[in-house]
Amino acid sequence: MFTALTIVVALGILGWGFNRARPYGKIGILAWLQSVVLMAPWILFFGLFAAGIYLNLAGMLLLFVISTGAYIWIGRQLRAEGQDFLAKRAAAKVAIESALSNSETETSPAPVPQPADSVSIPDEDLQTIKGIFGVDTFFLTETIPYQDGAVFRGNLRGEPEPTLAKLTGSLTAQLGDRYRLFLIENQDEKPVVVVLPSKNDPKPLNLTQTLLSIVLFLATIAASLETGGILLGFDFYSSPERYREVLPFSLGILSVLLAHELGHWLAAKRYQVRVNLPFFIPTWQIGSFGAITRFASLLPNRTALFDIAVAGPIAGGLVALGMLITGLLLSHEGAGFKVPTQFFEGSILVGTLARVIMGTAVQQSIVEVNPLVVLGWIGLVVTAINVMPAGQLDGGRIVQAIYGRQIAGRATIATIVILGLASLVNPLALYWAIVIVVLQRNPERPSLNELSEPDDARAAIGLVVLFLMVMILLPLTPSLAGRLGIGG
C-alpha cells in the first residue's frame, strides 16, 4: 500500500507540474518532460514491484541509461527553444521600455518623497540610495522602515538579475561597501527592494562556536566507534582494545558525513559563498544524524541556494548508495555479518534493492551480508534525515530555492506535524521536530536576488531527491514485504 501511495503521489506531482508548465507553451512542456524522464525509472521500478514483477540490476541500469539519454536530448531542445524565446522577448522588451521611458519622462510625476524620520539609515545616505532608482530599473513609489534599513516599494522595470546588478553597482559606487541591496517578494508577491547595512551580514563563527563545532565532531567520531561496537554486539568503551574491529565501521560512517559536507563546500566555493564549520549531531545509534551548516556570507540567488543545498545530499548519498550496492553484490553465505530479515523491511529503497540484487537470499529469517550493506543503509538514513523539507535542513533549503519562502514555510509546518504524529510510534521523530523548531528561531538572510527561480532541470532534480528521501525513510509493511519476497 505504501508503494502504491508513493506512486500516486509521484504521479500527482507530475500532473501538478504539467498544469504549471502548460501556460508557458512548448518551453514549459519540454521542461516538464525533463521531470518526467527523471522520475519515470523510479515510478516504473516501484510500480512493477508492487505488481510482483522484479527487475534485475541490468534492467535497472538500462532504465537509468535511457532516462539519462532522454534527459540530455530534451535539454538540448529546451535550450534551443529558450534561445529563440529570449531573442524575441528581448526585441519586444526594448520597444516597450523605450515607449515607457518616453511616456513617463513626459507625463509621470516624480516619486512622492517619503518621510525618513523613522528610517534607521542616515538621511544623507537614504537620499543617495533613492537616487539609484530609475524608470529603467525600479520605479520607486514608497519607502518603509525595516530593521536597520528600509524597504523600497515600486515597480520593477527589467529582469531581476540585470536590474539587481545595475542597482548594486550604483549603490556601491555611491556608498561603497556600507549597504547590501536585496531584491525580494513582499507578502503580496510584489517585487520590493530591501537595503540593509553590511554590518548585518552573516558572520563567521566566533571562537566559542568554533570550539563547539570541533567538540561535536570529536563526539561524532566517538559515537561512530560506539556504533561499530553495537553492530558487532559489544560495548566498545568497555573493550577499547578491540578498536581494529570497529574502526572500519567508524570510517565508513565518517566518509558519508565528510562527503556530504565536502559537497556543500565545493558548491559554495563555485559561487564564492563562505560556509561555516558544520555542527555535527552525534548519536550512539548510527554515529550521527548529520550536521547543521550555516552560511558565513550572502548568497547571490536561489539557484546558488539550491546547488549548495542539494550538493551535500547527492555527494553523501552517492557514497552511501555505492556502499550499499557494493555490499549487496559481495554478500553471500559466510559473509560474516548476520542481520534479521526485518532489516530490509526498514526502508522501501533498501528492501527493493536487496531483493533485486540478492534474489531469494532475502527470504530467509537471517541473512548474511557484507558489512558495507549496513554502512550503506546507515549512510542513506543520515542523508534522508537531512533532506526532510523543513527549516534550514538541506531539504528545507531545496524547497525554499525551488518554490519560495512561503511554500517552504508551509512545508516546514507540515513536516513538524507529521513528525509529531510519527513520534507516537518512534520517539526519534519528536527529537527532530524539536531540532527543526529551534533552527527556525534564527532565520537566514535571503539571497540577494530572491525573485529569479532555479531552472526546471534543478526543480526536477529537487523532486527526485525528495522522492528518494521518502523511499529511504518509509518502511515496508509486513504484507508488502511478503509480496516482494522478503522474509519467510
Strands 138-146 and 179-185 come out as: unpaired
| Cross-strand pairs, 143 | 152
Sorting pLDDT into bands at 50, 70 and 90, what band is 322? very high
Residue 168 confidence (pLDDT) above 80: yes
Residue 419 sits in the same domain as residue 364: yes
Residue 241 sits in the same domain as residue 355: yes
Q: What is the pLDDT of residues 400-441, one digit of tens each?
A: 999 888 888 888 888 888 877 776 776 667 666 776 666 555
CATH of the domain at 126: 3.30.980
Domain boundary among 200, 232, 250: 200
> For residue 415, which of 444, 384, 442 has the smallest C-alpha distance?
384
Residue 222 sits in the same domain as residue 161: no
Query: Per the structure block, which three cell numbers stand in for 23?
Result: 501556460
> For residue 295, which of 282, 309, 314 has the smallest C-alpha distance?
309
Domain boundary among 106, 134, 164: 106
Residue 320: in which H helix or E strand, if any?
Answer: helix 302-330
Residue 213 sits in the same domain as residue 81: no
Look at residue 455 and give its three-state secondary structure. coil
Q: Can you give the residue range of the structural domain that contains 67?
A: 2-106
Residue 423 sits in the same domain as residue 283: yes
Residue 221 sits in the same domain as residue 354: yes
Give the Cβ contact number of residue 293 at 10 Å. Answer: 25
pTM of the model: 0.74
Query: Which comes out higher in pLDDT, residue 9 or 48?
Result: 48
Domain boundary among 106, 141, 159: 106
Q: What is the pLDDT of residues 48-82, one digit of tens each?
A: 665 666 665 566 666 666 776 777 777 667 666 66
For residue 11, which amino acid is it?
L
pLDDT of residue 39: 65
Q: Virtual CA dihedral for 397, 398, 403, 408, nearest 10 degrees? A: -40
Residue 334 sits in the same domain as residue 465: yes
Residue 185 sits in the same domain as residue 258: no
Residue 415 sits in the same domain as residue 392: yes
Sorting pLDDT into bands at 50, 70 and 90, what band is 293? confident
Contact 42, 467 (CB under 8 A): yes
Indicate the DSSP class of residue 476. P
Residue 20 sits in the same domain as residue 167: no
Residue 191 sits in the same domain as residue 308: no
d(CA 104, CA 194): 24
How many domains does the chain fold into?
3
Go through 150-165 and write b for each residue having 16 or more CB atoms within 10 A of its CB, e for each that does not: bbbbbebbeebbebbe
Residue 131 sits in the same domain as residue 98: no
d(CA 277, CA 23): 43
Burial label, 295 (beta-carbon count in 10 A; 0-12, 13-18, 19+): buried
